[in-house]
A and B are shown apart, each in its own frame.
Chain A
Amino acid sequence: MSNRRSRQSSSALRISDDQMIDLVSKLCQLLPEIRERRRSDKVSASKVLQETCNYIRKLHREVDNLSDRLSQLLDAVDEDSHEASVIRSLLM
């Protein structure tokens, strides 16, 4: 069914079922929420995609926070200290 549909649909939207399933499963592994409430292949693709977007946004926020903290720490550290370099590397 979906193959038929995908063939009919535009190429941009075409994606094989296997691909989708594979990717979705991968995402499932990464997404903590979905992993926890695993419902044996009942997770719809749109749901997974939504969760992925949310998760990525969340990760971005985390990164921002950590960057802020690290930069603050860096300020508190001597510029030439080891720590500074470590921090910089982290931040980079």
Chain B
Amino acid sequence: MNHHRHHFVPDFETDDDYVNANTNSSSSNLPRKPIIGEEEDGDLMELLWHNGQVVLQNQRPNTKKQPLSSSAAVKLHNGAPPPPLDHNLFIQEDEMSSWLHYPLRDDDFCSDLFFPAAPPPVPSTVRPPEPSSMRPPAPSPVRPPAPSSVKPAVRNFMNFSRLRGDFTGGNGRGESGPSIAKSTVRESAKVNPSATPASSAAREPDLTRRTDGADSRGAGDLGSKSAVDGGGAYTVGHNRKGKAVVTTERTSENLGASSSVASKSEIEPLETIVDERKRKEREEVGSTECRNEEAKQGRGSSSTKRSRAAEVHNLSERKRRDRINERMKALQELIPCCNKSDKASMLDEAIEYMKSLQLQIQMMSMGCGMMPMMYTGMQQYMPHMAMGMGMGMGVEMGMNRPPPPPPPFMPFPNMLASQRPLPPQTRMGGYPAVQASDPSRVYGPNQQFDPNSSQAQFSGYMDPFQQFRSLYPSQPPQFQNQAASYPSSSRVSSSKESEDHGNQTTS
């Protein structure tokens, strides 16, 4: 098959090259080609279909002009460019890189790269750009370089690069190319290697391009097929890896020049699968990108951009709002007895709650620290503690109204009161009363307790969060009674306070 492919390659090469190649170098092969071509065509057709129906199908629509030329060329040479050849032509010229057709021969490069064991498909005959077949993915724009593939490898390489460029350009339009290229690569070693699927090649790394360029240029050189093969092989490997491996110029040549390389078939199956996938992905990406870009540009960039920007802005704004609402809801859940639906009031409550929590914690921690010392009669410390707490709380709270220096305890209630401009709060309402009552409960036992100021202060501390605490579910059970009775205790404590005071005075 490879042999056949080789023969065909020249036929499928792009116009000039193709013809030239055919006439010049592949003349000898030509005679063989026609005959084989038919067969190969059949084979090729089959192969193409096998590997990727897409190839053939895509090819057809994409390549309009080329087929004519190629077919013409083919006719020139073979006088019987069978339709399959046209397909090949299509493939080659548009997307299928010539390399596709190039059998994956184990040219010096290729074999090492890809198929160590792959025997050169057509070593004897012109070595079609095996690499082309090997590089299903890349070679897209590879033109039928075969004819000129004989040229120095460098040239082929350059051809590939050119092809690559073509491929890139054609990517937008030639999505089928890559797929075609892939399929061609796999199947059609014989297909003109020069015809590299533009699309696939474009994606491929530089190598592809190079290969393509080489192919196109070298297409005419059947003689350079061998080179192309090597290049093709190179390309294939490159494509497979997706790297722009410019191993050798020759490979590029081979790819470009000798389209139909028997070895291609060998390489194709291996690469086809992976390459196809990659190519398809690339195609999609590329096509999508191309489409998007084109669409954007086509619609009038300014308006489109603006509308899109506006949409984006709205979306982001909406997201931001949603996020904020989420947080507000969470906050609402955290704050006990928050029945406010208004954001502002809810935030106010949150602020107060936070402050009261801070106060509470501070007091409790102090109490914890002091507890061990209670045994030693730390009662006298309580007032001091209250004082410290008052001062500390003032600072902790970050209040903007620094407590007036003199009576340390005094500022606290002032601060608390000033902090709570919200009158309707029950806390506020109960504040004064609690103030009176709390100290009695707390400092009852403290005989030396400095009555009013500290008590008031302490009660100030207690009050805000105690209200919350009663609602807070974490209270230890044993104190539930006390907590529950707290509201009423305020009243009771007042009486107790008087008693305490009385006691204190008496004691």
Chain A interface, >50% SS class: helix
Query: Is B187 in the interface zone, CB < 8 Å from A?
Result: no
Query: Is B476 in the interface zone, CB < 8 Å from A?
Result: yes
Interface residues on B, range: 35 or more
Cα separation A64 to B486 with both chains bound (whole Å):
19
B residues whose Cβ falls under 8 Å from a Cβ of A: 317, 320-321, 323-328, 330-331, 334-335, 341-344, 347-348, 350-351, 353-355, 357-358, 360-361, 363-365, 367-368, 371-372, 374-375, 379, 382, 397-398, 438, 441-442, 444-446, 462, 466, 469-470, 472, 474-476, 478-479, 482-483, 486
Which of chain B's residues have a CB closer than 8 A to the CB of A83? 371, 374-375
Task: Contact check, A53 vs B331: say whether CB atoms are below 8 A apart.
Answer: yes
Which of chain B's residues have a CB closer than 8 A to the CB of A63? 357, 360-361, 364, 469, 472, 474
Which of chain A's residues have a CB closer than 8 A to the CB of B469? 63, 92
Contact of A27 among B343, B351, B360, B374 (CB under 8 A): B351
Task: Contact check, A56 vs B379: say whether CB atoms are below 8 A apart.
Answer: no
Between A and B, 14 residue pairs with Cβ closer than 8 Å are A12-B342, A13-B325, A52-B331, A52-B354, A53-B330, A63-B472, A63-B474, A71-B478, A86-B371, A87-B367, A91-B364, A92-B466, A92-B475, A92-B483
Task: Contact check, A56 vs B368: say whether CB atoms are below 8 A apart.
Answer: no
Residues 58-92 of chain A, each 1 if its beta carbon lies under 8 Å from chain B, else 0: 01101110111111010001000111011111111
Task: Contact check, B324 vs A45: say whether CB atoms are below 8 A apart.
Answer: yes
Contact of B368 among A12, A19, A59, A69 (CB under 8 A): A69
Cα separation A68 to B304 with both chains bound (whole Å):
63
Contact of B442 among A20, A30, A50, A86 (CB under 8 A): A86
Task: Contact check, A82 vs B445: say whether CB atoms are below 8 A apart.
Answer: yes
Task: Contact check, B351 vs A23: say whether CB atoms are below 8 A apart.
Answer: yes
Which of chain A's residues have a CB closer than 8 A to the CB of B478? 71
A residues whose Cβ falls under 8 Å from a Cβ of B: 5, 9, 12-16, 19-20, 23, 26-27, 29-30, 35, 44-46, 49-50, 52-53, 55-57, 59-60, 62-64, 66-71, 73, 77, 81-83, 85-92
Task: Contact check, B334 vs A53: say whether CB atoms are below 8 A apart.
Answer: yes
Task: Contact check, A68 vs B364: say whether CB atoms are below 8 A apart.
Answer: no
Contact of B335 among A55, A56, A73, A85 (CB under 8 A): A56
Cα separation A53 to B346 with both chains bound (whole Å):
13
Task: Contact check, A13 vs B343: say whether CB atoms are below 8 A apart.
Answer: yes
Cα separation A30 to B353 with both chains bound (whole Å):
11
Task: Contact check, A49 vs B328: say whether CB atoms are below 8 A apart.
Answer: yes
Q: Which residue of A lies closest to B372 (CB)?
A: A73
Contact of A26 among B351, B374, B466, B479 (CB under 8 A): B351
Closest CB in chain A relative to B433 CB, distance in Å: 15
Q: Which residue of B lies closest to A23 (CB)?
A: B347
A29-B398, A49-B331, A92-B483 known; A73-B324 Cβ under 8 A? no
Cα separation A91 to B477 with both chains bound (whole Å):
10
Task: Contact check, A56 vs B371: say whether CB atoms are below 8 A apart.
Answer: no
A73-B371, A82-B374 known; A55-B344 Cβ under 8 A? no
Which of chain A's residues have a CB closer than 8 A to the CB of B331? 49, 52-53, 56
Cα separation A49 to B323 with both chains bound (whole Å):
10
Task: Contact check, A66 vs B371: say whether CB atoms are below 8 A apart.
Answer: no
Task: Contact check, B350 vs A27: say whether CB atoms are below 8 A apart.
Answer: yes
Closest CB in chain B relative to A60 CB, distance in Å: 7
Closest CB in chain A relative to B359 CB, distance in Å: 10
Per CB-CB distance, the 9 closest pairs between chain A and chain B, nearest first, are: A82-B445, A49-B327, A83-B374, A66-B364, A23-B347, A59-B357, A73-B371, A15-B343, A89-B442
Task: Contact check, A50 vs B327: say whether CB atoms are below 8 A apart.
Answer: yes
Q: Which residue of A lies closest to B332 (CB)?
A: A53
Which of chain A's residues have a CB closer than 8 A to the CB of B441? 85, 89
Which of chain B's residues have a CB closer than 8 A to the CB of A64? 474
